[in-house]
Amino acid sequence: MNIEERIRILEDREMLKELRATYCFLVDDEKFTELVNDHFTRDARCDFRFRSGGLDPFISNGHDEVLNFFQNFVGVILNDMSHTTHNHRIVVDGDHASGDCYFELTAREGNSPAPVVGAGRYFDKFERVDGAWRFSERKADILYIAPLSPGW
């Protein structure tokens, strides 16, 4: 691998980490239309599930279903969310990439003042579309969302 290829991979990895950070900001700011239109492929897939079970997996395919998922599930069950990603592992292969990372969050549960904390792991597939990286698939393995007692 020559130096130009190595630099391109490093640049791609940084752009993918920036995409993940942008995802967090847009979800936290409830800018779901911008999130889906600008950062997911048209045929994107989201698969969010709790590791412990208890709730059915939330699977959505394509822009309309993915947008509906964020507006009517994420935007309803968690408010005032602040979440981050870390421990990024990314493999770039031309205009496709994949990887995983951990996430952590704080939020309020629904319309309640009750604070919650959560954590899990994202498993991502990416595609470069018109020069920009986008999510083609995002799976979330949610380890927990639990009450934060006595609160903050």
Q: What is the mean pLDDT of each run of 10 residues along the chain (152 residues)?
A: 93 98 97 98 96 82 96 90 97 97 94 90 98 97 88 62
**Does residue 89 lie within any of the structural domains?**
yes
Closest CA to 71 of 117, 44, 33: 33
**Does residue 41 lie within any of the structural domains?**
yes
Residue partners of 3: CB distance under 8 A and separation at least 6? none
Contact between 80 and 108 (Cβ < 8 Å): yes
Alpha carbon 53 to chain centroid distance?
20
**Does residue 152 lie within any of the structural domains?**
no
Give the integer Cα–Cα distance in Å for 5 and 69.
Answer: 37
**Does residue 37 lie within any of the structural domains?**
yes
- Residue-wise DSSP of 91-148: EEETTEEEEEEEEEEEEEETTSS-EEEEEEEEEEEEEEETTEEEEEEEEEEEEEEEE-
Cis peptide bond N-terminal to 115, omega within 30: no
Q: What is the pLDDT of residue 72?
A: 92
In the chain, the number of structural domains is 1
Give the integer Cα–Cα distance in Å for 128 and 132.
Answer: 5
**Does residue 81 lie within any of the structural domains?**
yes
**Does residue 86 lie within any of the structural domains?**
yes
Q: What is the pLDDT of residue 151?
A: 64
Closest CA to 60 of 50, 49, 74, 46: 46
CATH number assigned to the domain comprising residue 78: 3.10.450.50
**Does residue 47 lie within any of the structural domains?**
yes
**Does residue 32 lie within any of the structural domains?**
yes
Coil, strand or helix at 34: helix
Q: What is the pLDDT of residue 12?
A: 98
Q: What is the pLDDT of residue 107?
A: 95
Q: What is the pLDDT of residue 152?
A: 60
Give the integer Cα–Cα distance in Å for 85 and 71.
Answer: 21
- Domain span at residue 35? 3-147
Q: What is the pLDDT of residue 120?
A: 97
